[in-house]
A and B are shown apart, each in its own frame.
Chain A
Amino acid sequence: MELQRVSYRYPGQTTGVAALTGLFPAGKVTTIIGPNGAGKSTVLKLLSRQLTPQQGTILLDHRSLGQFAAKQLAQRLAVVSQRHELYDDMTVAAVVKLGRLPYHGLLATVPDDEVATYLAQTQLTDLAAEHLQNLSGGQQQRVWLAMALAQEPQVLLLDEPTTYLDVHYQQALMQQLRRLAAAGLTVVQVLHDINQAFAVSDWLWLLRDGQLVATGTPDQLRQADLLARTFQTPIEIVDVPRLGPYIVQVPGEEATPDNLS
């Protein structure tokens, strides 16, 4: 997936993104990081066509995103939102089956065996008949991931997927995303935790004020001054035994033009 000079400004607001050009490499995990209001979620909304660029083009498979019919797009691109709402109860299997609708008619009954793989991939096989309201937050998150995987997408977009998960589930999810990418899926996610982003990603996008500050591999972008400028806060990279380089905000220091450069 690729952005070519994409701009979007929210009506009546100054926030948005401006002239973004960059690549989301196929079969890799790309993470978008940046301070609040940098435009991270806006990029995801543009990629999932919830927002339409006011300028520029987004390419998927060398075709402009706008050219895809809704169903065609759903066969190529799946989204795991930060917030998921369910207005009435459903079983796990019923939710995952919705992810198969891009391949069926609108009134189709999706057979059980068609979703068995996705349930297994997300360790939900035993919970297939369970109702969502009886599941923990972490389990529910896996259901939404299973639904997205059932779309058999080329690109999976995730908006802060770890926010409401405990450390154990966060790690499990990140490992799963790595496995999916290794199997050829293009993963694009927004994360708040910089160290997690550097640890799990193949490629990073650094955003600030709606602008792309830098893109590259975690090794290329692990620079204290670059991160300090992006996040507008003094940052140091320390070496933690058995863990390697770790990005920390320097405690007690105010951000000034001096210590940011």
Chain B
Amino acid sequence: MSKHAGWWYAGVLVLLVGTLAVAVMAGTTWIGPSRLLATLGHPASRDFVTVVNLRLPRIIASLICGGSLAVAGALFQAVFRNPIADPSILGVSSAADFFKLGGALLLPWLPGRNWVLALLGGLVALAILTSGKALGNPYRLIIVGVALDATFVGLSRLVSSGQAAQVMASTFNGVTWPDALILLILGALGLLVALLLAPWANYLKLADVALQTIGIPVSVIRWSLLLLATYLAVSVTAIVGTIPFMGIVIPNLARRVVGHDYQTLLPFAMLAGAWLMLAADTLGRTVMVPSEISAATLMAVIGGPFVIILLQRGRGFHGITTG
């Protein structure tokens, strides 16, 4: 890792710790450091319940979700060789959401229903994305993804009889300890595997033909990373819902500050994603007390313009062809 990247790592860690402290203290009632210390010995106190039962699970959930979505986005970009691929724009998240919703209506008895069905939905979206000709052209892939997303959002609205869009419903409000623990286990596992497999994401920078001549099993690598990215994305959807653009914003910023090597980029994206999601959620729940702005809404407001700027300015890396 370069010294430059080291500074950025240090910076994001400082931000993360700072935001974490604010997230614990801020809310409908401000619980400052001294009050926080005083409450530790009193598990029955209102402050203790607020911090431990309401704020902590929410903080853990947002950290894991942010990290997972940022890493999932980076992996989708590596596999699809497309800098704006991400689980929300490709329709993977909304497919997971729709299946989750359908499951709640049709299979209410199924154990682990939300996660199992979200995964199934994600895989269905993946199957559609990777079949046919969408993979051959980066823009066609995105358009197919956007169409998929619109379709599944529409289907979700249909079955929920015209209620608000799922995106607006995605929130960390009401996340309980069991939810947070499931996310922690699923997310930590997925993120660990992602960090281990980071070199594979680098290999996919080469064309398939070139990879075959150096003896790399391209399909194994591609599908492993695709399934991993889908797993990370749908784990978030299963518990919280669709959160847009995290997978585009963070990896693209990360490339600019720590470089294009996935072994440096993925851990950074994980930390920065965790920070951004925590910051968005903390801001959303404190800025308009007692009402709330969901993290998904804030991410849409931040992420939308980011994608527009990214594409309008034509910045970033668009591939090299020698010959």
Chain A: residues with CB nearer than 8 A to chain B? Answer: 48, 50, 69-75, 77-79, 81-91, 94-95, 98-99, 101-102, 106-109, 131-133, 137, 140-141, 144, 147, 151, 163-164
A1 shortest CB reach to chain B, Å: 15
> In chain A, what residue has the closest Cβ to B261?
A94
Instruction: Please tell me if B81 contacts chain A, counting CB pairs below 8 Å.
Output: yes
Q: How far does the Cβ of A129 sit from chain B's closest Cβ, in whole Å?
A: 9
List chain A residues, Cβ under 8 A from B204: 87
B203 on the A face (CB < 8 A): yes
Complex Cα distance, B142 from A8, in Å, reads 37
Task: Name which of B104-112, B208-216, B229-237, B268-276 contacts chain A.
Answer: B208-216
Stretch at the interface among B183-191, B289-297, B314-322: B314-322
- Across the A-B interface, give the 6 residue pairs with the lowest CB-CB distance, nearest first: A74-B215, A87-B81, A71-B215, A83-B323, A140-B322, A84-B322
A77 to B215, CA, bound (A): 10
Please judge, given known A-B contacts A50-B209, A94-B202, A98-B203, whether A163 and B214 are in contact too, CB under 8 Å.
Answer: no
The bracket for how many chain B residues form the interface is 20 to 34
> Among B204, B215, B320, B322, which residue has the most Cβ atoms of chain A within 10 A?
B322
Tell me if B78 counts as interface (CB < 8 A to partner A): yes
Closest residue on chain B to residue A133 by CB atoms: B320
Q: Is chain A's interface secondary structure helix, strand, loop, or mixed overall? A: mixed
Task: Tell yes or no: B199 within 8 A of A by CB.
Answer: yes
Least Cβ–Cβ distance between A155 and chain B, in angstroms: 11
Known contacts A50-B212, A90-B205, A98-B206, A83 near B217 by CB under 8 Å: no
**How many angstroms from the CA of A48 to the CA of B197 in the assembled complex?**
28
Contact of A86 among B216, B259, B261, B320 (CB under 8 A): B320
**Please, which residue of chain A has its CB at the minimum distance from the CB of B82?**
A87
B260 within 8 A of A: yes
Query: In the complex, A77 Cα to B206 Cα: how many Å?
Result: 18
What's the minimum C-beta distance from A165 to chain B, rounded to whole angstroms? 10
26 A-B Cβ contacts within 8 A? A48-B213, A84-B207, A84-B210, A84-B322, A85-B206, A85-B210, A86-B321, A87-B204, A87-B207, A88-B78, A88-B81, A89-B259, A89-B317, A89-B320, A90-B202, A98-B206, A101-B203, A101-B216, A107-B197, A107-B200, A132-B320, A141-B323, A144-B322, A151-B214, A163-B323, A164-B322
Known A-B contacts A140-B320, A163-B323, A164-B322; the reply to A85 vs B207 at CB < 8 A is yes
A97, chain B: closest CB distance, angstroms: 10
Give B contacts to A, CB under 8 Å: 78, 81, 196-197, 199-200, 202-207, 209-210, 212-217, 221, 259-261, 317, 319-323
**Cα–Cα, bound, A102→B217 (Å):** 11
Complex interface: chain A residues within 8 A of B210 (CB): 79, 81, 84-85
Query: Which residues of B sit under 8 angstroms from A69, Cβ to Cβ?
Result: 215
Closest beta carbon of chain A to B135's beta carbon, Å: 13
Least Cβ distance of A216 to chain B in Å? 29
CA distance A164 to B221 in the complex (A): 32
Q: Are A88 and B207 touching (Cβ within 8 A)? A: no
Bound-complex Cα distance A234 to B27 (A)? 88
What number of residue pairs across chains A and B have CB atoms under 8 A from each other? 107
Residues of chain B lying within 8 A (CB to CB) of residue A109: 199
Least Cβ distance of B273 to chain A in Å? 19
Nearest-Cβ distance from residue A109 to partner chain B, whole angstroms:
8
Which among B196, B200, B209, B210 has the highest number of chain A CB atoms within 10 Å? B210
Whether the Cβ atoms of A88 and B205 lie closer than 8 Å is yes
- The one of B78, B202, B259, B320 in contact with A85, judged by C-beta atoms closer than 8 angstroms, is B320
What residues of B have a CB within 8 angstroms of the CB of A102 in the complex? 214-215
Q: In the docked arrangement, what's the CA distance between A75 and B216, Å?
A: 12
Task: Name B317's closest neighbour in chain A (CB-CB).
Answer: A89
Bound form: Cα–Cα A224–B190 in Å? 67
Residues of A within 8 A of B260 (CB): 88-90, 131
Q: With contacts A84-B322, A85-B207, A106-B216 known, what are 4 further pairs, Cβ within 8 A?
A: A87-B207, A98-B206, A99-B214, A144-B322
**A70 surroundings in chain B (CB, below 8 A):** 212, 215-217
Flag if B323 contacts A82 (CB, 8 Å). yes
Nearest CB in chain A to that of B138: its residue: A87
Output the residue of A48, A74, A163 with the most chain B CB within 10 A: A74
Q: How far does the alpha carbon of A210 sit from the alpha carbon of B203 in the complex, in Å?
A: 35
Interchain CA distance A137-B322 in the complex, whole Å = 6
Residues from chain A with a CB closer than 8 A to the CB of B203 are: 98, 101
Residues of A within 8 A of B197 (CB): 107
Q: Contacts A81-B210, A83-B321, A140-B322; is A73 near B215 (CB within 8 Å)?
A: yes
A70 to B319, CA, bound (A): 27
Decide: B322 and A83 in contact? CB cutoff 8 A: yes
Query: Residue among A82, A85, A99, A151 with the most chain B CB within 10 A?
Result: A85
Cα distance A74–B215 when bound, in Å? 5
Q: A87-B81, A144-B322 are in contact. Are A101 and B207 (CB under 8 A)?
A: no
